[in-house]
Structure formats: C-alpha cells, structure tokens
Structure 1
Amino acid sequence: MSVRYPRPLRPGDRIGVTSPSSGVPKELRERLEVAIRRVEARGYEVVLGSCMDGAGHVSAPAAERAREFMSMMTDPGIRAVVPPWGGETAIDLLPLLDWQRLRDAEPTWLVGYSDMSVLMTPMTLLTGIATVHGNNLMDTPYRAPEGLLSWLDIVSAPQGRPFTQIPPDRHRASGWDDYRLHPEASEFTLDTPGRWTRLDSGGGGVGDGGVGAEGLEVEGRLIGGCTEILCNLTGTGYLDTSAFARAEAPEGLLVYVEAVDGDAFAICRNLHGMRMAGFFDPANAVIVGRTSAPDGASLTQHEAVLDALGPLNVPIIADVECGHVPPYLPLVNGARARLVLTPTRSEITQTLD
C-alpha cells in the first residue's frame, strides 16, 4: 500500500455534503446555505445528501449514514466529501463501511475534523488515501488569515508541490460566532496572542515554553486527529500507526492530537492509554493542537500532555492551530511534512507525495 492522493479539484467538480455524525438544526440552515454558496463561488457544484437532520445527535440511523457516506466516497463524479461539522458518535459507522470497496475506488478527498477523525484517520491508515484534517463546511466562509490555507486551497493544490503554512500568532480565546444571529460571519475574531510552544526538555527545560536557541526541525508523515475521539480506537485494527509507518513512513511519523473539551485529567488518561496502545510508537515528534479545554485543579493541559507523552522522548510542540480553537491550520493525513520551530520562526511544510 502506498499513500494515494485524490486528484486536485478543478472548477466544475462536484463536492458531496453529508453528515456522518451530527446534522444541522433548522435554525442553523441559513449558515449552511452561506457555506454552500462559498463553495459554489469557487466554481464547484455541491451535492447535498439526505442525511442532514439536526433534530438529534445524529443525522440519520447508522445504516443510512453509512450508505450515503459510501455512495459519495465511491462515486467517481464526486471529488470531495465534507460534513457540516463533527458531532458525537460517527464511530458507529466503522463496522458498516466496506473498506475493500473504499480501497478499490478512485480516491476522493475526505475533509473535516473533530468527530470526523474517527473516519478520516482510519481511512488513511486502512486504505492509504490521504484525508484533510481541517475546517468543516460550516467554517468555510471564514477567510483564512495570512499564512494559513483553507481546505479548499489544499484539495485543489497540485500534487507534489510543497506548501507552507505560517501561524498568525493570534487566536480566538473563547467562544464561537452565533450563526443564528450572524449566519454570514466570515472574519475570525483573533483577539489573543499566542505562539507554538515546545513542551519537552529539548526546548530548554521541561514545560518552560522555550524552543531552544538552536530551534527544532523535524520531518515525518502526518497522522492524527482528535484525542477524545481517537482514544476509543487505539488498540484496534482501525488505528494501527505502526503498520502504516512500516509500509509508508519508515523514517517515522509526525503524530498530531488535539483536545476538544475534556479536562486535563481526562486528556492525561486518554493520552496515556493511546501511548500504551502504541499509537505514538512511530512518532518523530508529537504536535498538540491549541485547546480551550479546562485545566484540572492541579494539572494544566500542557502538564497533562507531558505527563502522558514525556516518556516518548521526542519533541512535543503544543498550541498549534490544528484543533478546535480558531484559526485553522489544515493538516493532510499521509502527507510528508517538515516542522520548523525557532525563537523567530514557526512553520509547517507539507508535500503531497
């Protein structure tokens, strides 16, 4: 198996929208329409699925969601599939999917984050098809800050040409735009300064936030996703990073994780379990997304990561824009990547080859 990249999207291509997890409530449908129009403005045709109901925690029964997902992912006329957002229990689709059929189909871009990690990360590990951990459809109307890209930029990028993203060093401290009141929202409120943080002792002292005078440069293939979602798959055949590394990245992986809202104690336990199950074994470094999840009474989120992942003895870079805190730095599962962190420079370069 080798990493396969869906061909770059061209104007006129079709993009499927379905909700493998949570659908869209009626009061947020206007935002959905705004997001669809933004995709159409890039020259694409949007195919809206029937699994979109937002009345409950899932958009439809599992069998229906699985059928629609399979249909879109194996339709040669649909070049990308993106959900409105994540949710809670897309994990119920995994045993219902025809993984051999997905392997045999022409590769289609799968985009998303949060609960979509439970589909995207296994998709890359089991089929070798690259997936995009980035903005969901409802985030698409936002303008990417200078230095960052949107998922639409990445799925249309030429294969084999490197692209570099540089963080804006500002983020949104808390809260989300109310789409009921502001369905047209298109500018992130980035009101808080913050840079990437090296947590391991290589930064100059464990947990001191330094990067070291010499800085850091590390490479590997990207794989990862949401901590609270992926921890439920570690130790199963759906999340065998070691087998993927042996086949595709003997030089090692850049493994990324991010926390949604679990407190520091929960995240610490999750990461310990993932480490003991071997998820991080092939990691040359661990990338940790910035989070607004709460600290514990005597344990911060940074300390939780160090407690669980410090024994790996690899660089740990935190506060990267690959989580639930805007803005968003999309990462391609399966892509070759180089991360650079110095006192004056933070960047990640990905190559789809």
Structure 2
Amino acid sequence: MTYRMPAEWTPHERTWMAWPTHNSTFTNEEELAAAREAWASVARAVRRFEPVTVVVAPGEAASARALLGDGAELLERELDDAWMRDIGPTFVTDEQGGLAAVDWVFNGWGGQDWASWEHDSKIARHVADAAGVPVLSSALVNEGGAIHVDGEGTVLLTDTVQLGSGRNPEWNRQEVEAEIHAKLGTTKAIWLPHGLAGDYGLFGTQGHVDIVAAFARPGTVLVHSQQNPLHPDYERSRLYVNLLRGQTDAQGRPLEVIEVPAPTVLKDEEGDWVDYSYINHYLCNGGVVLCAFDDPHDEVAAQIFRRLFPEREVVLVDAREIFAGGGGIHCITQQQPAV
C-alpha cells in the first residue's frame, strides 16, 4: 500500500489539539493559566472553520471546557505536554482514499533534560484509535513540526533535527530520506542546515522547519525573513532564502520564495533572542490562523497571507504565550485530512 501526506491546504475532517497540563514547560499556576487561555484562543479560532478535538489529561476536562466552551470535543488521555503537532500522528492517505496515521518515535525533542514523554510517546496511537484509522509505525525519531510537504512529492527537513545526535545518531541522510519518503509518499527532500537561533534555547526543538519555511502551494514556499541585522536570524534567513531559491521541487519547478518579515521585536523580557515567526501559521477549512505578537508587522504578514489565500479568512491570534513555551500555532495543531 502506498501512502501520501496531503498538503495542509487540502480539506480537513478535523483539527487535533492537546490541553496544557502541569509540567516543566508550565511550572506554576500563572504560567499554566496563561497557556490554557492561549491554547483555547487558537482552538476557538479553528473551531469557526472545522471541528476540533482536544486531548485532555484525566481530571482536566472541566478546566478545558470552561475555556473552550461546548464547541470542542474532548478526549481524556494521559499527557506530558501539549504540542500536538509533535506528539500526535502524521495523517496520510492511500490510493483508495483511506486514511492512516504515522506514529513516529517521540523522545522529547531529542531527549532534552527538562522533557518527559512517557505519555506523549503514546498519543499518536491514542489519536489514531479515536479516529478509527490504522497505525503505520516508524523507527525514525521525528516530529510533525520537523516536516512540511507540498502534497506533490516535496518535503522540507532540517539537518539538526532528523540528523541530530539526540534523535537519530545511527541514521545517515539517505536512510532518513528513505524512511520519510516511504511514510509520506514524497520523492524529494530539501534540507535546511538548521532552524532559527531561538529554537536552540531551553524549550527549543533544535531546529523545527515549520517556524522557518512552509509551502503555500506547490512551487511556492514562505520563508521567515529577519529584517534587523542585530538579530542572529538575519544571516540565517538570508541563507534560507538563497538556498531555497536555488532549489526545484519534486515536479521540477523552480521554487518561488516569498519572504515574510519577522516581527520587529528582537528579545523577550529575559533578554533572550526571540524566534517569533509568522511562518508558524495553521491552514484550516476556509481559514488561516496566523500568529500575532502585538507588533507592527502583524498586519504586514496578514496582508501577505490574504494575497496568497484570497478564498480564506485570515484570523490573527496572539501567540506570545505559546512561543514562551517553545512553539507557535502550528505546533499545537494537527490536521486530520478529509477522505
């Protein structure tokens, strides 16, 4: 059986999310409350366009329902963290239109000291069971935020993730590509050397691609563009743009690269470089849920997305609390394709 991961802009059956719970990321009640409000804001935005199912830890359903309202479905399962893009399955379709779920190995973003994954490593199977679809097991340590596909054979990857020492130290590039292609139905991998500088901090993923670059349609890729030379991502984003402009996709098309300016803010309240990025958006049925940062560039990014997706409504949701935990809107959502 041959499977293929559909592009994110194709129709969805629903969106899956997970509800923040007490852990190393949200260490006190204030942080947890702020995270839950941020997650709920995203869920409510997505729910305007398609069904949403939220996985909640046992005993947390009441807190979820209070903020989510009656619009979201809840599924109680044990959780460690709340990044559904990474702990959930990657849904793929077969030639007959059937659905399956890829279960990558999850080890806490490369076995990071602060992370725990006893429960999260099982979430992909829980979600697949709830969706009523078969599971495709993979031996590759990987997360959903570490891949991005165009639906026509091309996948974006990052050296410091799939080839990182904390994830797949015994795998070489060819072996990684072979497994990715086998599970996603892709035929060409485009590798970026690393992610944004801030993604290598305490709660970083060590280089997820979905904060750096994302396909908007076949042959067109959006790229994070840091405009300020003081930020370490200034040189990184120049590198990404130049690398991708020299690439063709799986169908032989030269890539059109659209630069999306980064927010103007450079550092957070602790003085660390931020990796705020509009690339980490989520496409749902008829909508674009876009990260906002109370920044002058919020509207600049929104206009870019309105031009790219004139048939979709662009909804801005404040993502600063999500980024404080180590990710963005794309990181906390996972699409289940419609079949």
**TM-score normalised by structure 1 residue count:** 0.33
**TM-score normalised by structure 2 residue count:** 0.34
